[in-house]
Structure 1
């Protein structure tokens, strides 16, 4: 009985003590954490040793968990998503509160689903798949950088060297596919492109990889981006070496898997570097610190992982354990207890494995928040997480392999871009790119080249450049295709061939005709063939317009173009009154008025001193009229004697010279230039008219008029040849023809050179040119553009033009663009005003002088005259005039004697 009472007392006391410990928040003696790794992998074997070392260091440090120990439960996923899921359940069965790993993105997808259901945080130090998102997996934390971050660096590197297209070689799993998708997005943001993708199966043999690489040699780009795993990626370079693809014609870029492999298997590095000559890759930058140096020495001393050295992911694995320790410590400070409860979603599950026995971690949400709020410095650098639950602030080293050395040639950060030395943290936190040097060190490329490789080949003998050529019906001076589609000639063909000859490399090519020679193909469909990779280049009379540049790249224009309007013309040479057209009515009236004014003023100025302007009233009127008109031909018989008269005649002759020369030039234009026969005199008249309008079959002028000018489609008439143009214009809109034709200037110039009676009205209402269409981001388009500029500068482009369009004398044919304008009074009003001022000033000066002399004469005769008042004044004036005339007569009578 006593023993029974004692047992009950002991049980009661134990219960009280336990409850007291729980209430007062005593820490548990041990906390289980799990790890799911692939033991036999480059990352897994290093991570396993790093995680074990970190658990030992945490347990040895009594200040972190304050007496609680970490109990590590580790399982091997065997590089299988299925096996990894099974091993995850085994780990969960041990009531772990967090899991570290796995390094495989495919396994991380599977385990993330499982751990989210049991509210257990998953910290992965090597799963870089960008699709591992916290939105889909709320309990997933990435203790490294996402591949979207690394692919941004890779896209910057490609853009830095000026390459436009690359070939992506990747492992066909979640890690490889999603990494390349991220690269494609980053390249697109920089107007670059992945032109070809090589996906090889997981565990593919070298024979399989060799076959895939062999196919890529037929494609133009020679820049390869390899995104593989550290365990199998080297087989790609072995295959490339067997195919002789490690030469100066190729560029090989690798993501950080390559540096991980070389750092891990350092004993095999010398052998590996022998077939990696010239490769450029990335390595995650781990800043130097005491913690890093201490951990490196401890890892190398223990060397718990045979034949493996520490790589960057080993540092992240080590820091993952410390992050878990700090978070658990904070969690225990706030919660004080770790509890599990049954999962209602799987409580009905039955079977030998008894998954229903696995319990949900009640504090999973709180522990997750503690992990995300961490802010400490580990071996790999600062440990902080962003809103997407990814590690913040990791940067990359750019490495170059040549000889027996893997050297660092620069650094990349998302804030400063590329730099030769690692930027100062203060500069990285400032405005960004101002302090970065934007340069990299000297890089040795495959084949020992130090010059930046071109990165692409336009074509080879086995895969020549596919050049599409439209088989035109008309205007064959531009493009001519023989009936058997073997001979290609024309202005456009010659320009393209001469451009290729100026390139610093050989471009094998072949022409491919499109069209049957009966109907000119639609050029829009040919442009689409370039965009769809059916052909590489489109050569011909291809206009550069906005819609087409959305799908293809054009070269520098080699001929100016633009839409113009052609209408019938009529000649005015037979008009009886054409000589009146150079001047407007106001101009004619003003000129005639000045003839009378000059004649009248000269008569007044010369009447008293020049006998040629004296005589009977009839004779003086006739002399005054004939004198002014005879000055037009400088045939006047009367001479001017007075100074004022000569001054007026000098200005008058100058005005006549300007007016007569302008009249002669304008009349010549009216007699030689054809005039419009159509009410359409420009783009406004074209739109306002309701008459039919012709356009060339297959030309973009139809879409421009229908879409841009909003001209009804019913008014647009398709025409094929210059003969069709002529017939439609001559018939006119009332007889089933057209009122005008809208086409590009080069075609119209040929049409006007061979057909008479037509002309261009107005100016070109579009500004464009003809160019050769290439696929988007084609480097060949840039080189051909430079070649076209050289052709223009050295005169070869003009010689090709003369060869096809200038037989004999290269003169401009056809009518002028519009009728010449009449000469308006506003063009000469300054001269007329000047002449009028001089004439009236001379007349006023003459009158003032006459009045002055009259006043002096009046004073002399004031006492001799018997009359007074008005009569006296009138008589005195006439006496003055008579005496002056007598004096002039005496002067003229003395002149013969003197002579």
Structure 2
């Protein structure tokens, strides 16, 4: 920087400055040149371009793009292989920062469902007094981490050389490891000695692509090699790299700009001329936009093998992965192109020919620390005793899975945690435990912090209630199927039908005559027995038959509905209380307070928190029921099966509509163990091992879950559901009654006319009605004044009598 300042301020000869291998140097130089208005062409660029960079350093031109595209390429590779956790290695700048590349990489990895497990930052190489010791000590720290996917995103060639040599020595370049380098290392491979390249076998890298077939490149390469061989006769690698090409293009830009400018041109004019340059250079297309090259670079994916490397394919911002630059491969699916570039042709560290797992299996030297529930409501799932190995179904399932996966059985240790299940899961998130084994329910909010393996046991929620004795039904339950309005309407239509039948049958049917008490009893009995289709009295009138026919249809519908509703209520009564009645009556309920069930009952089902009792042990539930402290218990399905297998004679279960994912084990986000255990659980389920373990611990429990509609309000029948039927039978009875009344009045008038007993016109309506009623009740009669009634005698003329 002092040299640049001296060139500009003292000698006044420098019209432009070229160089600056690091971005920090370029920024410092730009501060000076901006004041003096001298253009600077830098070979470096920031890892991530900051905003307003052109307005802050207007005289700074960057001959390269930032590292954001490289980071996207790295993320694409990580996503293709499905590595969920990586370790990032980078060299800090002279100020100890990462230039923002770490945050950008973290965001790119998140898009492919991966994350940074650990960032390993090395100080600037020039600041290390003993680089070998520092690098060795820092790399040893990585042994405690499970991830074996290492990404070198920002490093000097000096640091990279020491890094790979030390990593190879301490065993971090073996099987199941992955090493990926960006352009900062891959583009300098030609300058590394053979011993460093041997330590880098299996490394994937990406280097900026440039064409080597053009005539201009061939001409430059020949001159470069001749000059380089003359100056460095002992070096055997003579090909120019991307940095040499950029340097040549930079000088060419200035040379062409100076030729076009007059002698008295200012620095501003020179800057404008350089910034407007547009041509195809050796390093690629040269055209500036906002102070940097406008064209996006193409990266060549390479794989280091022995002392050299092979070319796998290319990656660009527009096309993604491809095997050829000139082809129209962008028309094919990116997934297919990825497979062609990354699948099957790669030599991995340790000589592995298939994609590594990217994580280290647990060993005795590096055991897993596994948390388990220290206290459980049901000990058959997990039981912890001091000085003994934990037992239970969950522990056995874990052991079987570990054997199936080939893990070392001595490579993990259990640690009991005496907190809630949510807190236990959070211990994985806070990295206190490498995994949690137990009866852990898979929930959405927990999945935000940990990864779960596939559930090994199904789960749901059961409501356990006592079975009531047969004689405990409510005495007035039989009136519940109908509302009071329905009872009133039924009674009214019953009475009305009874009256109509009596009226129609009284005059002509002897069974409906006699003393009033007998008539009332007969009519009531006939109508009531018709409810059960058990009436014996005959009806002689066709009018009555019509009324009774419609009435019997209504009776059939109403009694059938009543029977069905009452039967359903009797069934519900056996299983009461239900959820709604528990909430209405503020009844106490029991559950395991350490599980998620307590919050679920409070927040989802709407129970008052003060009515939820924490039952800590499976043996406490019967005592809580018998003492009346709780009216129902809510248990997850696996626990409910165990409880009912022991106490099924006294309790029943109602399965709620809520179904949960199941019970499983929890692992850190991105841990490959979640996938491994999912596959193991699937195999254990398919070969019957999990069922065998279930029977081993719980026997073969069978219980009946009653699937009922607990909403009893829907079973109560209201008049709204039957008003149509009542209207039909009422209207039918009324119409028939009126027709019969018309018929009766007609006959009455004919009898009066025949007997010559025409009523006086001045007779009151009341008297005429009484005469009609007497006629209806007595049958045929003579009408005299004052209603002097006597039976009609068959009188014949005397002349008509013949002597015997």
Fold match, TM over 0.5? yes
Matches within 5 A, 1:722-801: 771-785=664-678
Residue in 1 that maps onto 2:789: none
- Say whether residues 1:825 and 2:723 are aligned partners: no
Matches within 5 A, 1:249-268: 249-264=176-191
For the residues of structure 2 that align with 1:881 and 1:468, how far apart are their CA atoms? 100
1:388–1:96 CA distance, 2 compared to 1 (3 A) = closer
1:289–1:638 CA distance, 2 compared to 1 (3 A) = farther
Matches within 5 A, 1:281-680: 281-287=205-211, 289-300=214-225, 302-303=227-228, 306=232, 307=235, 308-329=238-259, 332-333=261-262, 336=264, 363=267, 367-368=270-271, 370-387=273-290, 389=292, 392-402=295-305, 406-422=309-325, 440-441=340-341, 442=343, 443-446=345-348, 451-472=354-375, 474-484=377-387, 486-497=388-399, 510-515=412-417, 520-543=418-441, 548-556=446-454, 573=472, 575-600=474-499, 603=502, 612-613=511-512, 617-638=516-537, 644=546, 647-648=549-550, 650-652=552-554, 654-655=556-557, 657-666=559-568, 668-669=570-571, 672-675=574-577
For the residues of structure 2 that align with 1:620 and 1:710, how far apart are their CA atoms? 59
For the residues of structure 2 that align with 1:503 and 1:677, how far apart are their CA atoms? 44
TM-aligned CA deviation for residue 674 of structure 1:
3.9
Give unmatched runs, 5+ long, in structure 1: 1-84, 339-362, 884-899
1:119–1:547 CA distance, 2 compared to 1 (3 A) = farther
For the residues of structure 1 that align with 2:588 and 2:772, how far apart are their CA atoms? 80
Residue in 2 that maps onto 1:187: 109
Give unmatched runs, 5+ long, in structure 2: 761-767, 782-804
Deviation digits for residues 28-72 of structure 1 (CA, Å, limit 9, x no counterpart):
xxxxxxxxxxxxxxxxxxxxxxxxxxxxxxxxxxxxxxxxxxxxx
**8 Å contact from structure 2 (residues 41, 60) kept in 1:** yes
For the residues of structure 1 that align with 2:520 and 2:713, how far apart are their CA atoms? 37
**8 Å contact from structure 2 (residues 577, 632) kept in 1:** no
**8 Å contact from structure 2 (residues 575, 652) kept in 1:** no
- Say whether residues 1:123 and 2:41 are aligned partners: yes
TM-aligned CA deviation for residue 322 of structure 1:
1.8
Residue in 2 that maps onto 1:225: 151
Residue in 2 that maps onto 1:25: none
For the residues of structure 2 that align with 1:240 and 1:766, how far apart are their CA atoms? 50
SS in 2 for 1:336: coil
SS in 2 for 1:141: strand
Deviation digits for residues 312-352 of structure 1 (CA, Å, limit 9, x no counterpart):
1221111111222344456x44x8157xxxxxxxxxxxxxx
Matches within 5 A, 1:841-860: 841=732, 844=735, 848=739
For the residues of structure 2 that align with 1:879 and 1:369, how far apart are their CA atoms? 127
**8 Å contact from structure 1 (residues 695, 741) kept in 2:** yes
1:677–1:229 CA distance, 2 compared to 1 (3 A) = closer
TM-aligned CA deviation for residue 478 of structure 1:
3.6
Aligned alpha-carbon RMSD (Å): 5.6
TM-aligned CA deviation for residue 393 of structure 1:
1.9
TM-aligned CA deviation for residue 222 of structure 1:
2.5
1:371–1:741 CA distance, 2 compared to 1 (3 A) = farther
For the residues of structure 2 that align with 1:825 and 1:480, how far apart are their CA atoms? 52
TM-aligned CA deviation for residue 625 of structure 1:
0.9
**Worse-matched range after superposition: 830-839 or 457-466:** 830-839
Matches within 5 A, 1:167-178: 167-171=87-91, 177-178=98-99
**8 Å contact from structure 2 (residues 505, 512) kept in 1:** yes
1:336–1:638 CA distance, 2 compared to 1 (3 A) = same
For the residues of structure 1 that align with 2:714 and 2:354, how far apart are their CA atoms? 66
